[in-house]
Amino acid sequence: MIRPLARRLVWALTTLIVVYVITFVMVVMVPGNPFQQSDRSMPIEVEHALRARYSMDNNWLYFWEFLGGAVRLDFGPSFTYNDWTCTQIVSQALPISAMIGVLAILFAVLVGVPLGVISAARRNSWLDVSIVSGVLIGISLPTFVSGVVLLTVFAVAWPILPIGGWGTIKHLPLPVITLSLPFIAYICRLTRSAMLDVLGSDYIRTALAKGVSPHQVIWTHALKVAFLPVLSYLGPATAQAVTGSFVVEKVFGVPGMGQHFVNAALNADAGLIMSTVLVFSVLLIFLNLAIDVLYAWLDPRIGLTI
Amino acid sequence: MPTSSTDNLILNRRSRWSRFRANRLAVAGLIVFVSILLIVIVTLPWTVHWYNVQSLDHAVRATPTAHPAVPYQAFNNALQDSRLISWPGLSRFIWQATSWMGHDDLGRSLFHRILPATLLSLIIGGCAAFVAVVLGSTWGATAALLGGRVDAVMMRMVDVLYSLPYILTVILMKVALTRPLSSLFDGHAIPANLLILVLAIGSVSWLTLARVVRGQVLSLRKQPFVEAARANGASTLYLLRHHILPNVAGPIVVYATLVVPQAILQESFLSFLGIGVQQPIPSLGRLAADGVEAVNAFVGFWWLIAFPCSALVVTLIALNFMGDGIRDALDPKSSQAPMI
Amino acid sequence: MTAFHPFTWVASALAVVVTYAYLNSTKEAPADFRYVNSSGIHTLDPARMSWTQDFRVALNIWEGLTTSDPRTTKPQAGAAIFPPLVSADQLTYIFTIREDARWSNGDPVLAGDFIRGWRRCMEPGTGTDYTFLFTDNLAGAADYVSWRRKAAGALTTLDRLRQGWEIDAQAAQSLAHHPVFEVIKPSLSLRSTIIDQHDNHSASLGLARQLNTSNLNWQALYQQTFDQHVAQMDQRFSNVGLEATDDKTLLVRLLRPCPYFLDLTSFPSFLPCHPSVELLREGDVDSGLTREGLVVYDPQWTKPRGIRNGYPGLITNGPYFVSDWKFKQRLRMSANPFHRMFDTLNVRTIDMLVYENTSVAIMAYEAGEVDFLPGMDVPYDHELARLSQTGQRRDFLMCDTFSTYFMSFNCKDERIEDRPNPFIDARVRKAFALAVDKEAIVHAVLQRGDRVATTFIPPGALTGYPSPVGSQMDIAAAKQLLIEAGYPQGQGLPTVTLLYVPSDERVCQALAGMWETHLGARVELRCQETKSFAESKANHRFMIARGNWYGDYYDPTTFLDCFNTGNGNNDSGYSNTAYDALLHRARVTTDIAQRLELLAQAERIIVEDDLPIIPLLHYASPIAVKPNVSGIFPNPRLRFPFRYVSVAR
């Protein structure tokens, strides 16, 4: 277990560095003067001097300086939001997105898995058809539509929740539910198809033949196996949910991370682009690693592979 | 287990079709999809001229009614520009339909925007899926066939690309590619913009397929019939053509049908960000995003959100049902589960 | 059940997180007054600001020599006694700072604090968009700023050279404009001895190559240049017309009579700055300059709490100070106990909340979560305007702003993206302008109560200014002009590109429709995100582009300077010697009426004859103020001083 884990860690680090290089190249390719605040033009000497001040006149220098800073968790200044460093921006936004994301994922598991199990167990019944259709609507409806619908229903038409913002526990339900809808749908789908596979296998037939109650077969024996694909999906899903969703943040006015992925790219804010990408990649790589360790522990036959 | 015998393939094809037919949801999906496709293609000669007919005087954001507010003449003028022989009966009927779904903020008939929008969304989805399939299957198959170091490096590259946030990749690609590509099209922004959109969406969707195809090819390589062919001195190209490609076609088709709706959804997300399809060309995502922006506490512009979203949801559900049906038909294992 | 049961885990994890969220939720009381800022603050540094929403905060937490009247935004008393002493030739202003003017930590406000604040706007590195307000008006400021900028460019290049980095053409050019180049020149073999600003790229590239391979002692050269520059700085700055004759007296010398100077002193660029900011100055300790010759402060100086060097956090002199600032979430202002109005302030705390989505902000306003919306830019704003105009919603007010929304033509480039540019011909520009039905755009497309614009400067906004008539829609004349220009019925016109940002969607589609129907032109719409748009415009990759302009001060020149040849904001590349001459004459004229007459003549050229732009409308900006809030008045510059606000609860 230790050796493969060490190998995985080395590999994670390599991946991170490659991700950094790719992002850096993309950022350098994006046109525009990052110091320009509005439409008004800037004297050429000043732009030149400012670029030099932030090592942005030389790509190599910038590459190493940013990397050096990133190792010390200092991502440098943001050029769109002058008064904030990228580290401050990320450290204020990430906990908020993480809170919503973790809740959304837990909620999605809690709802999606049972729906998938029921749907598989009652295959082709009206229940199955309605669950499958509901799930497909969940997948097909863009979040910006479902979010606005939830907002109009629960905050405007029937005002039990606040419109938007952040700070109290009442601000949580709408963003969490909106964010979890596509995850519920996907998890339900995964569980259903995994469950169908498992239920078709011999040992379930044996268990049923032996007289174990169908209820117990489904909810313990079968689910134990069928949960594994869901588990491996949870790694990337959690990384995605935790780093925020632009749509949910825009619709509900949540000051999370998701907006920065979009705004940084649109504003060509080099430092912010790279810091958000690095945070996302670190989360994704290590969550995946954690899930794989968990996997290996739950199912020792698989073991930890690179 | 898949075989390469011709007889078996036909038999398989037949049984697959019958399995697909047995799946009522899949058949319903197919029927809905085909009818949508038929409607949007048949009406295209009209809608392609009418989708941008504005009526700033009469019908700005008019509610759906049965009576068109804009005179037929306005639409007929737009048609006369084209060499197309209009069929008066049908064009009058389609004109009648202008008001069924209300009008948008420039007084354009929503009906005439939704129809070509659906087609455009399907085209974007299809092209993006095509890009993803070509990239993904080539990448996966090459990795598996070459094996060894090359395989390891290629798959590691897929891992790395997985750890990039896709939305950022799409936006950066769009920002960086817009200028070079528009100069390729003589400065015409619309085709360049569509191409970038397709490339951007396609290039973030191929990763999973590369993994799937690689896995399939690796397991096929160990199959007795492939090993036998190789022992008989078949070249890699021959193996690929006659044994491997026919057998990985199934998973590729399944994956492609699932990428199409995903790509359509991603385009709608980009439209919400304001970097999707260029106006005045409509796409379903663009229309839905416009509708969502008009939601407010004072006037209910319900039709601006209800109709585009219904069109989007119906199209995507039909595609998804079809995709599920195809998957079940190609992968019979899952239908053997006992009913409990 | 067996040991493994995922639901128990998941459910308990959910419970834990929800409890954590509950314990973490803020129990702080809401502020007395809450308003929405749709996109958050770009910066709180007055020297770097260029957005109305940033100005709004700045003018509430700082106080300039003058402040704005809440109704008319005309200058009134501020930190200095009003009115100041003005010399007979109108070139010298003497401001006396009030005895009771104090910073939020109790320190008295001194004349030197104003010099510090103003100087920050001039120095390269801290000052950005509004440096021109100083260089255009203050005696000696233009010389100082240009001297500093050139030095920064040259020092940057020398610094790169001494470190052995390759320099590029642009860097070489920066060096060539500085006197130190005379020292370098003998050691280079240059074919052309003069390299000026508009020199071609290949010459600078050749120069860069020579500099890169030259084996001059760059280290010594850099040090010498830097030391010389630092030694001269104070003496150079003393030539700028700014002087603190004593602690409380500020003497300002102007370049020329400037009838709007008092108005300028209420602008955010003219705010004072507390000395504690020097604790966060970066760069060389002795000189206070960075290696590049820039003046740079740690941008963290605008934070309410200090971070290092014993910095006490942002200290301001306005009626409020920033007590808390959460990024893109909330900025809280509290009453400044040392301000003279402290006892009369009805609103003690103000929250600036961020709602990225204006529709959601309006819903929050309707639900009573917010008291004031300073802007309601939404796709259904015509409905808000209707509710306001019909009197159904008395809390929706319309501000007729000092601004113009227009389309500008590219008047300069012969070819754009391999297509000939028809708009270098004024007749074509005029034809396109005359074919626009502005009434339809204002009353049918937008329907939000904007005023139709026929001129560039909003008529009636400036007292005594004789606005020209401008041009009206005239399809027949437009067609005739096109025939004269050689494009009958639009034949031979290349496809015209119209560049805009997403918020212009409706207007631009309508415009394209009008040009297609009336002129037979083919129009290609090109919508770009703000940053790409700015880039395309700056590089002249457009034929027609959207533009808008908000007047910064009450004088025609804030608009008209945009079309001066070579002005940084002259996007259309328009150049007309007659126009430039009129502006120049107005600049040196002391008689007020005659000056305005000359400016009106200049405006007539751009709105009646040459038409580098099509003025479309003057924005009407809707605001929403809860009925229990008083003291907020619609005004043309969207400045809302909160010191006059009171909220009845």
Which of these, A301, A292, A303, A276, lies nearest to A76 by C-alpha position? A276
Query: CATH number, domain at C322?
Result: 3.40.190.10
pLDDT mean over A62-87? 89
Q: Which amino acid is at A91?
A: S
Query: CATH number, domain at C125?
Result: 3.90.76.10
Among partner residues C379, C380, C440, which is closest to B56 by beta-carbon distance? C440
pLDDT band at C139 (very low <50, low <70, confident <90, very high): very high
Residues C552 and C586 in one domain: yes
- If chain B, 340 residues long, is cut into consecutive pieces of 10 residues, what is the mean pLDDT of each piece? 40 69 84 93 83 71 75 72 62 79 82 92 92 90 86 88 81 76 70 85 86 85 81 79 78 82 89 80 89 81 88 90 79 48
Query: What subunits touch chain B, counting only 3 or more CB pairs under 8 A?
Result: A, C
- The answer to whether position C308 is within a domain reads no
Residues C189 and C331 in one domain: no
pLDDT band at A240 (very low <50, low <70, confident <90, very high): confident
Can you spell out the DSSP letters for B69-136?
SS-HHHHHHHHHTSS----HHHHHHHHHGGGTT-B-TTS-BHHHHHHHHHHHHHHHHHHHHHHHHHHH
Q: Determine which of C28, C165, C289, C292 to mutate to test the interface with A (most A C-beta atoms within 10 Å).
A: C292
Can you spell out the DSSP letters for C304-333?
SS--STT-------SSEEEEEEETTTEEEE
Residues C567 and C457 in one domain: yes
Residues C577 and C482 in one domain: yes
Domains contained in chain B, CATH given: 15-330 (1.10.3720.10)
Residues C449 and C545 in one domain: yes
Can you spell out the DSSP letters for B39-65?
HHHHHHHHHHHHTT---TTT-TTPPP-
- The answer to whether position C462 is within a domain reads yes
The continuous run of DSSP H or E covering C614 comes out as strand C613-618
Residues C408 and C395 in one domain: no
Would the pLDDT of A13 be above 70?
A: yes
User: pLDDT digits over C610-620, tens only?
Assistant: 999 999 999 99
> What total of structural domains would you count in chain C?
4
pLDDT for B19:
77
Q: Which amino acid is at B131?
A: V
Query: CATH number, domain at C519?
Result: 3.10.105.10
Of A6-10, A227-231, B127-131, C631-635, the range with the lowest mean pLDDT is A227-231
Residues C386 and C253 in one domain: no
C507: left (phi over 0), alpha (psi -120 to 50) or beta: alpha
What gap in Å lies between CA C226 and CA C33, rounded to an integer?
50
- Inter-chain touch B313–A281, beta carbons under 8 Å: no
Residues C453 and C600 in one domain: yes
pLDDT for B337:
44
pLDDT band at C515 (very low <50, low <70, confident <90, very high): very high
Cβ–Cβ contact A80 with C under 8 A: yes
Would the pLDDT of A1 be above 70?
A: no
The continuous run of DSSP H or E covering C496 comes out as strand C496-500
Residues C483 and C409 in one domain: yes
3-state secondary structure of A212: coil
In the listed set C183, C213, C234, which residue is the last one of a domain according to the structure?
C234
Is the link from the previous residue into C641 a cis peptide, with omega within 30 of 0? no
- The answer to whether position C188 is within a domain reads yes
User: pLDDT digits over C467-511, tens only?
Assistant: 999 888 999 999 999 999 999 888 889 989 999 987 888 899 889
- The answer to whether position C435 is within a domain reads yes
CB of C547 closer than 8 Å to CB of C617: no
- The answer to whether position C5 is within a domain reads no
Burial class of C550 by CB neighbour count within 10 A (0 to 12, 13 to 18, 19+): middle
pLDDT for B58:
63
| Nearest chain A CA: its distance from C486 CA (Å) | 34
pLDDT for B51:
82
| Other C-beta atoms lying within 10 Å of the C-beta of residue B205 | 25
pLDDT band at C126 (very low <50, low <70, confident <90, very high): confident
Would the pLDDT of C435 be above 60?
A: yes
Q: Please give the biggest Cα pair distance in chain B.
A: 77
- Inter-chain touch C444–B299, beta carbons under 8 Å: no
Under 8 Å CB-to-CB from C426, ≥6 apart: which residues? Answer: C609, C610, C611
Chains A, C: CB pairs < 8 Å? 213
CB of C515 closer than 8 Å to CB of C525: no
Among partner residues B60, B187, B278, which is closest to C417 by beta-carbon distance? B187
Domains contained in chain A, CATH given: 98-256 (1.10.3720.10)
């193996």: which residue's tokens? Answer: B239
Give me B215's structure tokens.
Answer: 């896995």
Residues C529 and C441 in one domain: yes
Complex prediction ipTM = 0.85
3-state secondary structure of B138: helix
3-state secondary structure of A81: coil
Chain B: residue whose CA lies nearest to A121:
B340
User: pLDDT digits over A113-160, tens only?
Assistant: 999 999 888 887 888 888 988 888 888 888 888 998 898 888 888 888
Which of these, A276, A270, A250, lies nearest to A80 by C-alpha position? A270
User: pLDDT digits over C250-292, tens only?
Assistant: 999 998 888 899 999 999 999 999 999 999 998 888 888 898 8
In the listed set C179, C214, C234, which residue is the last one of a domain according to the structure?
C234
Cβ–Cβ contact B106 with C under 8 A: yes
CB of C304 closer than 8 Å to CB of C91: no
- The answer to whether position C9 is within a domain reads no
- Inter-chain touch B313–A217, beta carbons under 8 Å: no
pLDDT for B81:
59
Residues C211 and C111 in one domain: no
Give me B71's structure tokens.
Answer: 């005179």
Domain, as residue range, for C388: 28-42+318-399+623-647
User: pLDDT digits over C57-96, tens only?
Assistant: 999 999 999 999 998 888 999 999 989 999 998 899 999 9
Chain B: residue whose CA lies nearest to A205:
B338
pLDDT band at C410 (very low <50, low <70, confident <90, very high): very high
